[in-house]
Amino acid sequence: MHNNKRPRTIQIFLPTGDPAGIRIAEQTTSIIRLIEVPRSDIAEFLKLPEAKQVGLYFLVSGDSKEELYIGQSGDVGSRLMQHHKDEKKDWERALVLVSLTNNLTQTHVLYLESLSIEKAKSCQRYELLNGNSGQKPHTPIPLKADCDEIHEISSLLLATLGYPFFEPLTEHAATEIEQVFICNRTGVDAKGIYTNEGMVVLQGSSAPMTTKRKTEQRFFDKRDQLLAKGVIAIEAERFVFQRDYLFQTPSGASMFLLLATSNGWIDWKTDQGLTLKDYQGHSLESITQ
């Protein structure tokens, strides 16, 4: 769901030949290179010339890849080694942004760090571990224009590798363009938008804290995780979404709301009562006729 949609070619190089190892992504017409480094492969990364460059980096942690730290350095390899030795930081993968022509300056990366923190906060996909918003340096207009373009390309490369830090969850905050689906079984009052990533449950959706249906502890465990993160909050014996939140499947979203098993393709409906399954079916028929 990239904002500036047009066909692109992305090249991914595997320097060790292992698709789970270091991956280097580039857009074929750009000088920006993004290197994904598993923590176990830091030694391999330090052998690459890019490790000595000025760069912006992202540290991703958590099993569900939901925690993010953004930083920059004049010597990105040394900085990653410091993070590796720092016991306070728990991370699994680093994503390092450098320039093929080695022309990024400290001003570029300071501006990009600040811009990235701001954008990641507004997208709210990841819990940002940065204590502050970075130092936005005084940036001349031409350099700012370059940085904005670098940020756009880096967003695309990150999303291509599976890290959509800066991608809005839905196409438009005002949802009149996208079809809104409703889940309203057993006291649930929720709205969602089905995207190519899954079901986004919209801010303000709510459901009862208890259920009379036959259920399992795992549904309550997931609810408690999102309560701890502040994604949902308790109001008058209901849990209420404090922000839009992406579930990977329609059923994952409806089960979370109903606290029990559910088929999201049936339990999400348009306001006319058409199920998500039938709605998708009609869309497909109109194309194939």
3-state helix/strand/coil string of 90-109 = CCCEEEEEEECCCCCCHHHH
Q: List 222's β-bridge partners, or say none.
A: none
Give CA 214 to chain center in angstroms.
33
pLDDT at 63: 66
Tokens encoding 28: 């074929």
**pLDDT score, position 289:** 57
**Among 85-99, 170-184, 215-229, 258-272, where is mean pLDDT lowest?**
170-184
237 alpha carbon, distance to own chain's centre:
30
Contacts with 268 (C-beta within 8 Å, 6 or more apart), sequence order: 181, 182, 183, 192, 194, 199, 250, 253, 254, 275, 276
Element (H or E) spanning 68, and its range? Answer: strand 67-73
pLDDT tens digits along 17-52: 999 999 999 998 899 999 999 999 999 999 999 999
The CA distance from 207 to 224, in Å, is 14
Exposure string over 242-259, b if 16+ CB within 10 A, otherwise e: bebbbbeebbbbbbbbbb
Structural tokens at position 187 = 């006291």
Return d(Cα 184, Cα 191) in angstroms, integer: 9
Whether residue 173 is predicted with pLDDT greater than 70 in this model: the reply is no
- 61-117: per-residue pLDDT in tens? 866 658 899 999 999 999 999 999 987 778 999 999 999 888 899 999 999 999 999
Q: For 174-217, write each residue's pLDDT tens digit.
A: 445 688 999 999 999 999 999 988 999 999 999 999 888 888 89
Extents of the domains making up the chain: 10-160, 180-288
pLDDT grade, residue 137 (50/70/90)? confident
pLDDT on residue 174: 47
The answer to whether the beta carbons of residues 147 and 139 sit under 8 Å apart is: yes
Calpha distance 183→256 (Å, rounded): 11
Short-list 28, 51, 156, 30, CA closest to 101: 30
pLDDT at 64: 62
Q: In the numeric block, which tokens belong to residue 166?
A: 């800066």
> Does residue 26 contact residue 8 with C-beta atoms inside 8 Å?
no
> Does residue 13 have a pLDDT over 80?
yes
Nearest to 110 by CA among 158, 159, 162, 70: 70
Token representation of residue 181: 């689906």
Residue 1 has pLDDT above 50, yes or no: no
Instruction: Name the token pair of 217.
Output: 């502890």
Split at pLDDT 50, 70, 90, the class of 288 is: low
